[in-house]
Every structure is written in structure tokens, then in C-alpha cells.
Amino acid sequence: MTPYHAPLRDTRFVLEELLEHASLALPGFEDTSPELLDAVLEEAARLAAEVWAPLNLSGDRQGCRRQPDGSVTVPDGFIEAYQAYAEGGWNGIVVAEAEGGQGLPEVAASAVQEMLHGANMALGLCPMLTAGAIEALSHHGSDDLKARFLPKLIDGSWTGTMNLTEPQAGSDLSRVRTRAIPCAENEGEHYRLHGQKIYITWGEHEAAENILHLVLARTPDAPEGNKGISLFLVPKFLVEEDGTLGARNDVICASIEHKLGIHGSPTCTLIFGEGEGAIGYRVGELGRGLNHMFTMMNEARHKVGIQGIGVAERATQQALAYAAERRQGRAPGVRGGESTAIIDHFDVRRMLRSMRARTDALRALALYCAAQMDRARHHGDAATREAAQSRVDLLIPVVKAFSTDQAVDIASLGIQVHGGMGYVEETGAAQLWRDARIAPIYEGTNGIQALDLAGRKLARDDGAALDALIDEVVATAARLADTPELTAQGVALRGGAMDLRAAKAVVLAAGRDADQGTDAVQAYATPFLQLAGHVLCAWQMGQAALVAQDALAAGTDDWAFYRDKLVSADFALRHWLPVGRANRAVIEAGIDSLALVGIDH
């Protein structure tokens, strides 16, 4: 596997020139200068490249092992690499300084997360889930719980997990059966949990002193369905009143999964309450566990999209390096002489340009979403915060699903560039595809993300939030069309925007149809999300093209970067966007082929 280099230049381009450091102008970030942010990114890049990335291949080959006592051994070097991350203060990057964090904006955290996942996705999953636990506990925990548990999560001494899935309850969490029984008054204000949770990422390990499990469970008198589910915090080791660790709680890792990829990440089956019951503390209100957990889930879904982008970046770097070295055949128009590097062949160039253009577009959209998250949390005007949150809600399913689907395809193209060497494990190209393949599945499958977008997010305001976003896409298309060098790109982007608006109308109308509304929205959801992803990514590359064209016209010293950005934007708008626009025709074709008998069982 080739060395990993964090994409600092393109990250700076997005933050400085596309987003214009808008997050730094918000209340609370007055002391965060562009120079400070740049220094943070430089240090994160060093950690990713020098400490985390070298362990990616060895971690994949060594994997994790469950010991007879239920403990789990992670690959060599992972504990030290995690501790270097924690000691650097990265766990609390967006947490306020008064609470022990760095107090940086979400765009900074997202950029750092991409670097870490590009360097080592299996290891990156551990702090990613901890960040979600911090978010959930900060929003919904009592003052006592926050005082007792948050500081150690923020400084990275303890890690967090998310416990939803059970053998009979996958995506349908209404079937959760784990029980939380209130303790007697003389025992204290806590519960004893009994049940089993599966697919728990980093559910057991020795990289941190303690693990805090956020667990969905039912109290004895809870009603059936989603309204009967509450959220509980269950520590691996009990925590005394003075903050010191006490006895081991009644929770154990029964097994770890043997997976297609992310071998360095222990995916555990956890048993709660084989004895008297695992002691847990209620987080938030009774019966609102799913609502509270979704605070953590939304954080995780955005970061899973970022995770996919990190792997796509590494796959692109690896494919470019291999194509520049591998010699085979001759360049077009050349006869005789030595063979040429395969990067000179146009079919290979097509694959490489597709990988680069798509990765850059996905990064820009994910960081734009992160900037909207900053706006929703910190802007001084309530109406502006509300509008930004509506946009975040709309974008998160796109960032999660579209980025991860694209990452799998980009990693697959990376294997194709390597030819036969990509299909063997020696080069590491196959590992990137194997690792990326889980991302469209966990934190809500991409089909669920599509249903969330086309069903819930679109219907709740009759498409108003999406209309506002499409208006901005159309405005960018007009600017492109008015720029002589970019007119064709503007025409392409406007066409994509019109397709998305037309498809939105079809999906909304289908949802109102009393006879087949639910079925139609389900049928249209994935092509609709794919269309939205293509158009919104093309919009970001259209913005990039305008910036790059201005820089070139001004005589920039970084000519090669801006010229390459223009080429990638042209590819995204005129080669890649047309593929996505075909989803309008898919939606307008209707659902008869899905409704007809033929695949029933």
C-alpha cells in the first residue's frame, strides 16, 4: 500500500475559497483564525500520515482477537496510535474550551475526520463513535451524568459506543427487547439491563480505561413499538462518586465478527446482565430513547459519509501512484520503443479523472454540510439557525448515502486501474474496497437514507428546503453560463437542476397518492437520492470552476492546481452529471416493473 498524504491543498481550497471561512465568522469562533485552523490541519495531517496510516495494512492482516475471558486484543500499534490521538486533544475538537475541548468549528472536525479515515478507517471508527456519544450525552444527559462521564469522553480516556441492533431488531428498532429494570430506591437511581446487542463497533478493547455504552432498552411497563424505547448509559467499569473506576459491570463481549473488511475494528456481540444485571443510567426522558439516539446517529451519519470520502481519497492516491509507475503498451500514436506508463492510456485516464473529480466533489459537499451545521448551532439569528438546520437535515442522508456508494465504486475503480495486481492483497487496493463496502450498510442502510430524504425530509415542508437549495444551484449555473470559458458547464448544471426539480414534483405527488403513495416513494427514493447527490456535487464543482477560472485569469502562482480543478469540474459536470441525470427518467418510468409479480416468493 502506497503512503498516504492528507489532501491538505484541496481541503484548504474548499474551506478558504469555496466556503470563505464562513464558520470562523460565527459567534464563538472569534479566536479561531485561518492561520490557527491551518496549523490544526497540518498537525492532523502529520498524525494521519505518520502514525495512523502505516498501521492500516498490518491492522487489516492481523485483525482482532477475542480472548477466553471476553477481552479483545486489537492489532499491534493501534492502542499507541489511539493514545497519540487522545493526547493531542483531538477527541474534543468541537467541544467548547470551557468543557475541556478545542472549541473549533464542525468544518475543522470534518476535515480532520477525513484524514484519519483515509489513513486508517478501522481505527478511525473508535473516536468517531465517541464523538457521537459526546453529542448525545451533552444534549440529553442530566447535569450529574454530564459531570461524571463527559470529561473523560472528551479527553479520550474513555470511549463510547452505540448499541441499537439486536438479532431480531436490525433496522426495525421497534422490536428491541433489551430490558431495563429500575433498581430499588436504596440501591440508587439506576437500572439493571438484560439483553443482547450485536454489531457493536469497538464494543470491547483495551485502548482506553473505560467504555461507555449508550444502549436502547425497554422498562418493564413500556408500551410496544418505538415509544417504549429509552436510552441508557452502561459503563464497562462502574464509576465511583469521586470519578475513580470501580468494579467491572455485568456486560461482556460474547464474540467478535469475522468481516469482509475493517479487520482492525472489533465488531462485538455484547451480553448485558448475565448475572444480576448491567447497571445503567437513563439518558433523557423515558420513552424518547430513539429521539435521543438520533442526536448521536445524525452525527455518525455525516461522519460515515466523511469516512467514505477518506477511503476514496486514499484509493485515488494509490491508483494514481500505480498508474504512473506501471508500464504496459504504448501511448496513442507511438510505435516501437519502450512501453509507456499506463497513465498515458485514455481509458486509464478516464478512470483516474473520474476518481479524482468525484472525490473532490464529495469532499466539497460534505464540508458545505458541516459549515451549515456550524451555522445551525452558532449563528446569532434564530431564523437563520432554523433554515440552516433544515438544510443540514436535507443534506445528511445525501452525504451519508451518496458519498459511501461513490466510495465503493471509486475503490473498485482503483482495483481496476491496478489490473490483476489490484485483485491480490499485495498492493492494498483490495483492502480499500473491502473496508469501504460496510459504509453503505451501517448507521442506517443507504436505502433507509433515501427513504428519509424522499419520504420524511421532502414531505415535511412540501419540498421548500430543497427548492431553496435548487435555486442556489440554478444561480451558480447562470454564473457559469455567463462566463465564456464555462458556458457548456453552466448549461449542463442547469439541466441537472431542472431534472431534480421535476423529480421532486413526481416524488411529492406520489406521496400524496392514497392508492400507492408509500410504495411509490419507496420505489423512487434511491434514484431520487442518486439524482440529488449528482446535482449537488456538480453544483459544488461548478462553484469550484468559477473560483479556479478567476484564479487563472488573475495569474495565480498555483497554476497547476487551478488548471486541474477546472478539468475535474468539467469532468464532473459534463461526464459524470449526465449519468446521474438519467435517474429522472427512472423515476418518471413509474413503478410497474417493481409492482408486477415475478420476484415474489
- The pLDDT of residue 248 is 97
pLDDT digits (tens, 9 = 90+) for 470-489: 999 999 999 999 999 999 99
Give the single-character DSSP code of 47: I
Q: Which residues neighbour 187 within 8 Å (Cβ) at sequence distance 6 or greater?
A: none
- The pLDDT of residue 110 is 97
C-alpha cell belonging to residue 225 = 413499538
- The pLDDT of residue 479 is 98
pLDDT grade, residue 333 (50/70/90)?
A: low
Lowest mean pLDDT of 40-54, 389-403, 501-515, 575-589, name the range. Answer: 501-515
Query: At 161, phi and psi to the nearest 5?
Result: -135, 165
C-beta separation of 116 from 124 below 8 A? yes
- The pLDDT of residue 600 is 55
| Helix extents (H) in 47-120 | 56-62, 78-87, 106-119
- The pLDDT of residue 83 is 97
C-alpha cell belonging to residue 467 = 427548492
The CA-atom distances, in angstroms, between 497 and each of 259, 454, 486, 510 are 40, 16, 17, 20
Distance CA 29, CA 6 (A): 25
pLDDT grade, residue 293 (50/70/90)?
A: confident
> Which residue has 492481523 as its cell numbers?
62
The CA-atom distances, in angstroms, between 369 and each of 293, 329, 395, 454 are 21, 44, 6, 18
pLDDT digits (tens, 9 = 90+) for 430-466: 999 999 999 999 999 999 999 999 999 999 999 999 9
Percent of the chain with pLDDT over 90: 87
pLDDT grade, residue 335 (50/70/90)?
A: low
pLDDT grade, residue 577 (50/70/90)?
A: very high
The helix/strand/coil state of 596 is coil
Identify any residues that bridge with 270 across adjacent strands, giving them in sequence order. 197, 253
pLDDT above 80 (res 598): no
pLDDT grade, residue 595 (50/70/90)?
A: confident
- The pLDDT of residue 337 is 66
For the segment 249-276, the average pLDDT, to the nearest whole number, is: 97
CB-facing half-sphere around the CA of 57: CA atoms within 13 A: 12
C-beta separation of 498 from 565 below 8 A? no
> Which residue has 466523511 as its cell numbers?
306
Distance CA 49, CA 112 (A): 12
Average pLDDT, the chain: 94
C-beta separation of 81 from 87 below 8 A? no
pLDDT digits (tens, 9 = 90+) for 509-534: 998 886 766 788 999 999 999 999 99
Q: Catalytic residue numbers?
A: 443
Separate counts of helices (H) and strands (E) for the chain? 20, 12
Nearest partner of 413 among 324, 521, 312, judged by Cα = 312
- The pLDDT of residue 144 is 93
Kindly report the pTM of this predicted structure.
0.96
pLDDT grade, residue 2 (50/70/90)?
A: confident
All domains in the chain, ordered by first residue? 293-593 (1.20.140.10)
- The pLDDT of residue 332 is 67
- The pLDDT of residue 513 is 82
Nearest partner of 89 among 74, 78, 99, judged by Cα = 99
pLDDT digits (tens, 9 = 90+) for 187-240: 667 999 999 999 999 999 999 999 999 999 999 999 998 899 999 999 999 999
| Helix extents (H) in 185-335 | 289-325
Distance CA 253, CA 461 (A): 44
Query: At 511, phi and psi to the nearest 5?
Result: -65, -25
pLDDT above 60 (res 361): yes
Distance CA 432, CA 440 (A): 14
C-alpha cell belonging to residue 121 = 478507517
- The pLDDT of residue 329 is 80
Nearest partner of 525 among 598, 444, 597, 430, judged by Cα = 444
pLDDT above 70 (res 601): no
Instruction: State how beta strands 65-66 and 237-239 pair.
Output: unpaired
Distance CA 93, CA 103 (A): 6
| Helix extents (H) in 330-445 | 346-378, 382-418, 420-423, 429-436
pLDDT above 90 (res 594): no
pLDDT above 70 (res 336): no
pLDDT above 60 (res 36): yes
C-alpha cell belonging to residue 24 = 470562523
Distance CA 235, CA 390 (A): 34
pLDDT digits (tens, 9 = 90+) for 131-187: 999 999 999 999 999 999 999 999 999 999 999 999 998 888 888 999 999 997 656
pLDDT grade, residue 330 (50/70/90)?
A: confident
C-beta separation of 258 from 66 below 8 A? no
- The pLDDT of residue 8 is 98
Give the single-character DSSP code of 18: I
For the segment 493-510, the average pLDDT, to the nearest whole number, is: 97
Percent of the chain with pLDDT over 70: 97
